[in-house]
Amino acid sequence: MKLTTLLERLTYTCLQGSLEREISRVDYDSRKVQEGSLFLCIRGAVCDGHSFAGEVAQKGAAVLVVEEPVQVPDSVTVIQVEDTRYAMAVISAAWFGYPAEQLKVIGITGTKGKTTTTYMAKSILENAGYRVGLIGTIEVIIGDKVIPAVNTTPESYLVQQYFREMADAGLTCVVMEVSSQAIMLHRTAGFTFEIGIFTNIEPDHIGPNEHGSFEEYLNYKSRLLQQCRVGIVNRDDPHFPQMIAGHTCSLETYGFSPEADLRAADAQLVSRPGYLGIAYRVEGLMNFPVEIDAPGKFSIYNSLTAIAICRHFQVSEENIVKALKVAKVKGRIEMVKVSDQFTLMIDYAHNAMALESLLTTLREYHPHRLVCLFGCGGNRSRLRRYEMGEVSGKLADLTIITSDNPRYEEPQAIINDIKVGMGKTEGKYVEIIDRKEAIAYAIHHGEPGDIIVLAGKGHEDYQEIKGKKYPMDERVLIAEILEEDRQR
């Protein structure tokens, strides 16, 4: 592809060399550079791509895209831009033939609810006959192809590559999670979202290598509403005015507020052994009753968001209701049937805020006992351990403290930190290091009317110990425990 074609939507300065170069590939990893490559010098958290300029030139790179001048042979074309990450997004879009223009791309941002909402929207749209791709925290789905995810939102080159594959596979829509980091690092630059969703905002992802303040975090989240045609925002969020500040899209709202365009009314909890759900009525832009197989008020918000999206695709009320009943998200309030007497679920809640939200929601169902099994990751903030211990101690009737991803720490040391938080409460607990043994204990000691939640692992199917990931899927562990019980 001609260099001029790759640069056609970019502002740049040619520092040296010819613009009439033929490009064989686009690279941002110096190890992959080949003869004829265009190499983007990206400044990362660990290293700076500019420092590899000489090395990639020797490998045969035809073009370097830089933020500052570099010393390379005159035969190499050097293109200077203000931001190489932004340039990577725009160049990648051109390299893959602007595939987003062949798709309707739906972007979902917010502190909570992104993952569940993406799957709900995908389920409804597919139920109505659309062919839908997904890019999210858990996986990328392109037709029958499933790719495990590394980041919530991949690098811009990969986003465009996935879009190209989706368009070539005949997909018409894409639902994707958009993290604040992705917006800050221009991973979603170079195209316009058909619909942008802002679910909610709470202090999170603030600290080293993330965001310097809540204001910065909110600012990047809100930029999605400057990159979409239609914005759909939670009207109930206390930061609503700041969320929509500077928006350039047409705006719609959802929530319980009478000012919301799409509203939830008459919410009622639905409960029976092995099942927790919620029913409500949709009012405003649409009017019909809904029941979903997921507990809590936040499940109403997630489903309302999905309904708001699908309204723009002329999905019928019948298809929406039917699809919401079967929409499942791996590791997000995922109920696993183990008994007719009590309810067991798996959830990804892996910090104090998420765990408190989950346990508070489950408390509303008035269980006989609320049992919470969790651990904490090694080589991460010890404060998170204290906080999660305190939250579970306050809200659960019994806490089962176990191992999560200990990484390079000793599991017992992590458990001891969790117990510091537990010690601030009157909460009862047991400690069982082996996670399978801990889950077996929870199942074997379940009492009629209990709600048991296995928190922290969610969709993860591994346990990380001493730098190695070992297979460990809680669904598999549960199946093994039940089979072992049958053979006794």
Binding-site positions read: 30, 110-116, 151-153, 179, 187, 380, 404-407, 456, 460
CA 483/CA 442 separation, integer angstroms: 16
Annotated binding site for meso-2,6-diaminopimelate: 380, 404-407, 456, 460
* 135 close to 182: Cβ distance less than 8 angstroms: no
Element housing 371 (H / E): strand 370-374
Mapping DSSP to helix (H, G, I), strand (E, B) and coil, where does residue 282 land? strand
CA 227/CA 239 separation, integer angstroms: 20
DSSP conformation letters of 327-364? ---TTSSEE----SSSEEEEE---SHHHHHHHHHHHHT
Annotated binding site for ATP: 110-116
Residues in the chain: 488
Joined tokens for residue 410: 């000793």
Cα-Cα-Cα-Cα torsion 310, 313, 316, 317, nearest 10 degrees, comes to 20
CA 71/CA 59 separation, integer angstroms: 15
* CB-facing half-sphere around the CA of 125: CA atoms within 13 A: 27
Maximum alpha-carbon separation in the chain: 77
